[in-house]
Structure formats: structure tokens, C-alpha cells
């Protein structure tokens, strides 16, 4: 499925200007049909899956309790 620049910006939660910059930097692959740039939506699936996994990992680390320091001694 191919998306326009506006649809891609909505899909990635970015501005159209940011998407255009990524296209100019060749970080997003496009095809040009003579009038518009079209972007294959499937190229983002792996990236978005990795971002979701990273978010889950960060959330797990945040929820992990801090272990008590075994070297702490009572000074009393």
C-alpha cells in the first residue's frame, strides 16, 4: 500500500516538513509517479515494531523495583 506524504506524516505522527526532510536525506524510500511522491507503508513496519518493543522494555525497566543495597550497614 502506498501513501502520500500527508498520509505518511499522519501515520508516523510527524509533520509533512519532517517527512520531506527524511525523503531528501534518503532515509525514506519513495517512488515518483510524475506528480507525487508515493511511499510504501510496509517499509515502516519493522521500525515501528522495534519501537514498540523498546517502549515495552523501557516500561519493564521502570517498573522493576530497585534492589536494596546489601552493603548498607546500620550505623547505630
Q: What is the pLDDT of residues 40-68, one digit of tens each?
A: 988 888 777 888 899 999 999 999 887 77
Residue 30, number of CB atoms within 10 A of its CB? 19
Domain 2-63 has CATH 1.20.1630: no
Q: What is the pTM of this model?
A: 0.60
Dihedral class, residue 14 (left if φ above 0, else alpha if ψ from -120 to 50, else beta): beta
In this predicted structure, what is the pLDDT of residue 60? 92
d(CA 49, CA 71): 40
Amino acid at each position: 500500500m502506498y501513501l502520500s506524504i500527508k498520509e505518511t506524516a499522519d501515520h508516523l505522527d510527524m509533520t509533512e516538513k519532517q517527512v520531506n526532510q527524511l525523503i531528501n536525506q534518503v532515509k525514506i524510500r519513495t517512488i515518483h509517479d510524475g506528480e507525487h511522491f508515493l511511499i510504501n507503508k510496509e517499509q515502516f513496519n519493522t521500525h515501528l515494531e522495534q519501537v514498540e518493543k523498546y517502549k515495552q522494555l523501557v516500561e519493564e525497566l521502570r517498573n522493576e523495583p530497585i534492589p536494596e543495597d546489601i552493603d548498607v550497614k546500620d550505623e547505630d
